[in-house]
Chain A
């Protein structure tokens, strides 16, 4: 029994919880999976789409958190870079040129975040918070004209849902993108030298630095990765709703992204977690959010329930994997 319990890590608990919720919703909640006894895919597809964007952001965030950082600018970069890109397309900038500018902007934000954290020793939480405000303020006041920027008719973004692969399998493009992001993230973390470096830095930053891990370039790298992931997430959002509304920056989407990581079991103290934790976390948040929407819970009630789930997951994890001064990690929070 105790052996069994010791396998119940947070990610397993959360996975079981997600599976239970899914089954319960499928059986008891009309409109979730079955309507009037007949299978219907529509709602499931909507759910998976919603989760995918969150999941892609969480892939970037997860890599940053494993390396003992945090990126509060992810949602701002997602919304503002894509809004600016669409704005450029709408005002007649040639496609490749616009994409180039937008990507350059995204990489620049990642570089600045990374440089400030790694070379100027400013805590990541302040750097990325400031850059979130800056990116939002600068783009909204200087580069775009209104909150919602529509995608121009005939743009490649709008064609994404109609790709051959997508129409033949009926699986939305978002899911392919999320899957690809998770897979690439997995390969990067698991099999490349730089992926190992990120784990080393997250586990024990001082030790990693002292033994010659290039900690500063690596820090810059993972903020750039996070910014690029945010851009991809933004493109996908636009492909499904045909425009980008920058008001999302002021929503609590960012907290949902962090929630996906933390609830999936990526330790905020760094060095712990894998891409599968992101998947598990995204599944739970997605199923929960969708079920609650069908049940007509308000946003406020949904937040309340999410908070309870988060606390429960953390408390159960604390009970099953107790920590004291000998097991506590450096920089644990």
Chain B
């Protein structure tokens, strides 16, 4: 009997039955069964918005389920808070870290379990010993905000282990790690497993799941598709189960011929040596009309910040901040309004915090674009015009909703993204910057958004697509820029670029 089969026969320590979670009546998870056995690594896979995070958040008490039951060591439980779950022995390591940035590593480790009389020296010593026992090279006296992404994650993991968690849930743990750090992370995961800790591991990277998991569960649109031993899967099978159709393959595996690559039009934007504190450093590049410029970079490479400077959302350094020329005219925007007036729009990667207006309907959101750009120079608003505009654009963008009065928060990620894009396009831009245009978007909508982006470039606009998903960059770009440590370090033509070459430029 192999090791994975042994764990397969062990009794489950967590059993979730028919778990549902509704957000404003919209189901994020529908009657999902899930179980976790002692000492197994259980990978949870699915497209964005499939309900992976929600399911595990129910398990860890971050959200409460709208329906279904959960048993823990055979007893029925319903955790009301992450603290209760942690007390019971279930810890979750979040995608966005939940550490207190202004405290030291040791203070974070002991957060919530401090003694009444808290002596710093004492916790530094015990934290040091503890981190060493895990083989983590992290200084316990370092302030968390000074640490890099990988080290922060180590601290999160250490905190989970420190609470003697029997179950640790990792939400996209490897997204921000370098290959070297990933190796460390997986070694640790296997060490935890050998101690008898059960691990739930949410990932986008199928290879990681195949290589390290004992069992794999796949969700799609909030529903359980399949749970089985990792040995029963291969890449093809997982992808099929995740998307339910072979659409994903169609989107990303299409090879473009050399004649399909668009030639650059006139140069609209020329950026020389722009800097912003230490995030964007002496960055120079040009953007041309009528083609899609793909920008690839890892998290923290300054790609988003660079283009936020271009679109006026951030201000570049006042001294030695470089120069930006729009069609030969030097510009220095202090507010995004000036950039919008010049026809530069930025479509955000974070819809919820800076994309749409959530108390408002689709129509109101779309109309806001027109109002904000002040294209009509009218003092009053017109409901008739708003309705006509909404009808026109929901049709053009194929936004699926019951009606235009539906609130944007009630839409799926893909439809939300279409509304956000529409709101920008209504402003009649000449340069459109898409930051992660398909993040959290369902597969069907990805294809539509890609078509839309292609159409924009065909119609002569300068289009910039920032993405950390290589196939997206490879597939869309007529020109690929790679960003690392605050500057564009390399440029590729799409026919000479390979995923390996781009990744190499982005990492080294």
Contact = CB atoms under 8 A, between A and B. Distances in A.
B368 interface: yes
B336 A325 contact: no
A203 B371 contact: no
A191 B383 CA distance: 9
Given A192-B381, A204-B354, A204-B356, A211 B24 contact: no
Given A203-B360, A210-B346, A324-B63, A192 B379 contact: yes
A207 B372 CA distance: 11
Contacts of A192: 379-381
B423 A211 contact: yes
Given A204-B357, A271-B359, A324 B23 contact: yes
A28 to B, nearest CB: 40
B359 A203 contact: yes
B486 interface: no
A308 B215 CA distance: 54
A214 interface: yes
A276 interface: no
A327 interface: yes
Interface stretch (A49-57, A139-147, A193-201, A249-257): A193-201
A203 B340 CA distance: 20
Contact of B427 (A195, A209, A211, A325): A211
Q: Secondary structure at chain B's binding surface: helix, strand, loop or mixed? A: mixed
A196 B357 CA distance: 12
Contacts of B373: 211-212
Contact of A211 (B352, B358, B360, B424): B424
Interface string A110-132: 00000000000000000000000
A211 B336 contact: yes
Given A191-B381, A326-B23, A327-B23, A216 B358 contact: no
B424 to A, nearest CB: 7
Given A191-B380, A192-B380, A326-B23, A200 B368 contact: yes
B438 interface: no
Nearest to B57: A325
Contacts of A195: 381
Given A197-B371, A200-B372, A213 B337 contact: yes
Interface in B108-143: none
Given A212-B427, A271-B359, A193 B346 contact: no
A210 B356 contact: no
A200 B348 CA distance: 16
A272 interface: yes
Contacts of A330: 352-353
Interface in A182-237: 191-197, 199-200, 203-204, 206-216
A220 to B, nearest CB: 14
Contacts of B335: 209, 214-216
B39 interface: no
A170 to B, nearest CB: 36
Contacts of A193: 371, 374, 378-381
A203 to B, nearest CB: 4
Nearest to B383: A191
A272 B340 CA distance: 26
Given A191-B381, A210-B336, 13 more contacts: A191-B380, A193-B371, A196-B368, A200-B372, A206-B354, A207-B356, A210-B313, A210-B348, A210-B354, A211-B336, A212-B427, A271-B357, A324-B23
- CB-based closest 6 A-B pairs: A212-B340, A206-B354, A203-B357, A326-B23, A212-B337, A212-B372
